[in-house]
Amino acid sequence: MAVFAPGQGQPQTFKLLSTGPGANTAMRELDIYKVTLRFRNAQTEEYFVRSQKDRLVNNYFWLAVQLLLVSCCMLVILPFASPFDRPEAKRTRLLGMVALGSVMLAAIVTLIATGKETISARLHPNVAEVAAVAVMLFLVPLVYLMDLYYASKCLGYDPDSTWGNDRIVYKFSDTRAILAQSVLILASHLTLPLRWVVLAPQEVLSVLAYAGFAFVLGGPDGSDAWSTLLLFTALVICSAIGRRTIEMHQRESLQQIIHERSLRAELEFRLSCEREESRSTGARRPPAPEEGSSDGNGSFHPESLPETTTTAKAIGNGDDLARILDIGRREQWLVEPEELQIRPRHVLGQGGFGKVVGGDFCGTPVAVKMTKVVLGDTTDDDSRQSSMLVSMFNEIQILRRLRHPNIVLFYGACLMPEQRDARLVLEWVNGPHLETFILEGGIPGRPLRAADQFKAIMDTCRALCYLHSRRPHVIHGDLKGTNIIVERDAGRPDAFNAKVLDFGLARTLTRHARSMGGTVMWMAPEIVRNPAMAANIYADIFSFGRLAFFVLTGIFPFHDSMRSKIVKALRKDALPALPWPRAASAMLAQCRPWVEACSALRPEERPRMPQIRGQLSLTLVLMGPAFVAEAEGFSQALVLEEASEEEQPPDPPAQGEAAAGTREAAASSSAAAEPEASAANGSTEEASERPGEGGGGGGG
């Protein structure tokens, strides 16, 4: 049993006291305004309204369908409502048909607005509420104009003489008009999830409309109209009270859910922090496996480095927002709420963990990454919703230390301890995703050039070289075409710069780094086989090889296989061959050997990023000066210097042998291109759908 009572000392605050068997007797404060029931917190109120929007649109669609069907039936019946052809009767029927046509028009407009997803998706929840009530207000007077008695009265005719004679006497009543008004009241209060305060205009207008028609124009019930008015008013009041009670319980449930999710997230953060503390101060650990070795469980560890600092752990776990605020102020990346203006309707991208919208930071256009909980459109379960904050703090922990021209710049983060929420402020990049850039044929106005493909691959390679050279190493963890954005140069229309973004699944390569995720189409097979496998840089290298294949050919890896088939094949170590095209260009022939090496099934057989960068530099030299001139951002001297540089990777001997084999394969790649492509095409299975992407962080 729930009893609502005014909170002591706070006359406009409700407190909920739960009583009864097994109930928690603690007082839970429901922080709302007493009359309107609005949450005092504007973001919570916005989330409440947004959470009702989908149900409002769906229910209103079916109400409009019923309204249209009833109107069509009445349109057929109304012309035959009376056999009289008097001028007064004709004008009255015409007025009724005009009113009925207006009802049908309102129903059709509502069907279009609610049935077409492109329109309903753009409607702001507040606008949808106002529009729903406006249609109800529009229908109130039309109900009386469709009634033969009141239509005659509106035109100044006597209903008895208009619709009767010496032999026929019509008995008029308010029953149909009152019944129609009651249906509208019940539909808006019980079927549509509208806030009770928004429905107040309809309630007032319904009562006043009946009083005006019945007593000003004169109703058919005469003196009985008073009792009808009292009963109808009682119905409206009861409907309003019922709507208010339902809304009160909805708001209580929402606040309880928010409270429980906050506690769950806080508990997870604290447990994670305690585990890290116990690992750092607990019992002795077994010695870490050497670089390039296996730990005996099938998990390959390329490095074993010290744990992150206490500061990094505090940010990554998000266990104490107040402490993170202090760290942000000390490191100069904390953004105050008044410095940031957000445009929530300007959605730039979205993913599993959040949305990226436009905004302004101190007058500068920026991209703001927000959790879906704030935007109010999440449909995920509770554990995934709490993971949004974990992903957000993970990005803060990693991005705050990264500075590279091929990585989207991190300006800071806006933290809100009261809402347990964070917003990432990132560089605004003007351009499409790399996937769109390749599929749509490059820069508008000219076809995609081989130099453009090379530039995109080289920019991404440089970003990964930088990430893997950090101490501890940084692993992106979800490298794919939609996580790289192509920035166009306003001064040089033909020039662009590829930038890596979305570090929601990134990891720092520490002794106890968390397991990795990713998207199946681009994910390394060892991660698919063992999702709990320790993080390593070779997963990024595999994804980079797949990405390079897509950029070079415009073909998705596993392009004709379903997701389930991909996972099944990778778990069986049956890595399908890449479907290389039969006609191989000179650059494709140069890049194919190292792309195949990146796709090796065993992680230790894959080359490292410095080796791949050396291969790319050598390819650039072999392609000639004209190709170098087309590839914007490269200088001939730098190319020659990188190509002549001898890099000694810290890999075991097996890695060196694999790299040597890669260079030897370069000489025969052109001759082997056609047979291998034919074998790949011949072994491809038929599939009914293209694999979808999943598990990625918030897009940008």
Question: What is the mean predicted confidence (pLDDT) over 27-32?
Answer: 60
Determine contact, residues 369/700, Cβ cutoff 8 Å. yes
Q: Where are the alpha helices (DSSP H) in 31-164?
A: 42-77, 87-115, 117-120, 125-145, 148-154, 159-162
Distance CA 29, CA 418 (A): 15
Q: What is the pLDDT of residue 505?
A: 80
Q: What is the pLDDT of residue 133?
A: 93
Mean pLDDT of the chain: 75
Segment of 75-79, 464-468, 534-538 carrying the highest mean pLDDT? 464-468
User: Is pLDDT at 408 greater than 90 in this prediction?
Assistant: yes
Question: Where residue 194 falls among pLDDT bands split at 50, 70, 90?
Answer: very high
User: Is pLDDT at 431 greater than 80 in this prediction?
Assistant: yes
- Pair (517, 613) in one structural domain: yes
Q: What is the pLDDT of residue 144?
A: 92
- Pair (423, 438) in one structural domain: no
Q: Mapping DSSP to helix (H, G, I), strand (E, B) and coil, where does residue 690 land? A: coil
Residue 368's DSSP bridge partners are 357, 425
Domain for residue 128, yes or no? Answer: yes
Domain with 124, as residue range(s), is 42-255
Single residue among 636, 656, 682 that ends a domain in this structure: 636
Q: Which phi and psi (to 5°) does residue 348 adopt? A: -95, -30
Question: What is the mean predicted confidence (pLDDT) over 642-658?
Answer: 42
Domain for residue 292, yes or no? Answer: no
Question: Where residue 64 falls among pLDDT bands split at 50, 70, 90?
Answer: very high
Determine contact, residues 59/193, Cβ cutoff 8 Å. yes
- Pair (396, 532) in one structural domain: no
User: Is pLDDT at 695 greater than 90 in this prediction?
Assistant: no
Q: What is the pLDDT of residue 186?
A: 93
> What crossing angle do the helices spanning 225-281 and 382-399 adopt, rounded to 10°?
50
Domain for residue 537, yes or no? Answer: yes
Question: Where residue 560 falls among pLDDT bands split at 50, 70, 90?
Answer: low
- Pair (128, 179) in one structural domain: yes
- Pair (412, 477) in one structural domain: no
Question: What is the mean predicted confidence (pLDDT) over 553-574?
Answer: 72
- Residue written as tokens 């744990």? 307
Q: Which residues contact 49 (CB under 8 A, 6 or more apart)?
A: 125, 126, 129, 195, 376
Work out the number of other CB atoms within 10 angstroms of the CB of residue 379.
8
Determine contact, residues 532/513, Cβ cutoff 8 Å. no
Question: Where residue 658 falls among pLDDT bands split at 50, 70, 90?
Answer: very low
Question: Where residue 13 falls among pLDDT bands split at 50, 70, 90?
Answer: very low
- Pair (415, 547) in one structural domain: no
Q: Which residue has the higher pLDDT, 683 or 348?
A: 348
Work out the number of other CB atoms within 10 angstroms of the CB of residue 137.
15
- Pair (74, 219) in one structural domain: yes
Question: Where residue 377 falls among pLDDT bands split at 50, 70, 90?
Answer: very low
Residue 356's DSSP bridge partners are 349, 369
User: Is pLDDT at 384 greater than 60 in this prediction?
Assistant: no
Domain for residue 446, yes or no? Answer: yes
Distance CA 444, CA 472 (A): 40
User: Is pLDDT at 496 greater than 70 in this prediction?
Assistant: yes
Single residue among 636, 660, 693 that ends a domain in this structure: 636
- Pair (445, 468) in one structural domain: yes
Domain for residue 67, yes or no? Answer: yes
Domain for residue 690, yes or no? Answer: no
CATH assignment at residue 471 = 1.10.510.10
Number of domains in the chain: 3
- Pair (416, 445) in one structural domain: no
- Pair (138, 115) in one structural domain: yes
User: Is pLDDT at 280 greater than 60 in this prediction?
Assistant: no
Q: What is the pLDDT of residue 346?
A: 86
- Pair (448, 421) in one structural domain: no
Q: What is the pLDDT of residue 503?
A: 85
- Pair (560, 617) in one structural domain: yes
User: Is pLDDT at 232 greater than 70 in this prediction?
Assistant: yes
Domain for residue 14, yes or no? Answer: no
Please report, for residues 9, 201, 351, 370, 475, the alpha-carbon distance to residue 505 in angstroms, rounded to integers and kept in the order given.
47, 50, 12, 16, 9
- Residue written as tokens 């390593």? 536
User: Is pLDDT at 9 greater than 90 in this prediction?
Assistant: no
Question: What is the mean predicted confidence (pLDDT) over 574-592?
Answer: 83
Question: What is the mean predicted confidence (pLDDT) over 595-606?
Answer: 90
- Residue written as tokens 């928010």? 258
User: Is pLDDT at 5 greater than 60 in this prediction?
Assistant: no
Ligand-binding annotation for 369, yes or no, is: yes
Domain for residue 95, yes or no? Answer: yes
Question: Where residue 299 falls among pLDDT bands split at 50, 70, 90?
Answer: very low
Single residue among 205, 232, 255 that ends a domain in this structure: 255
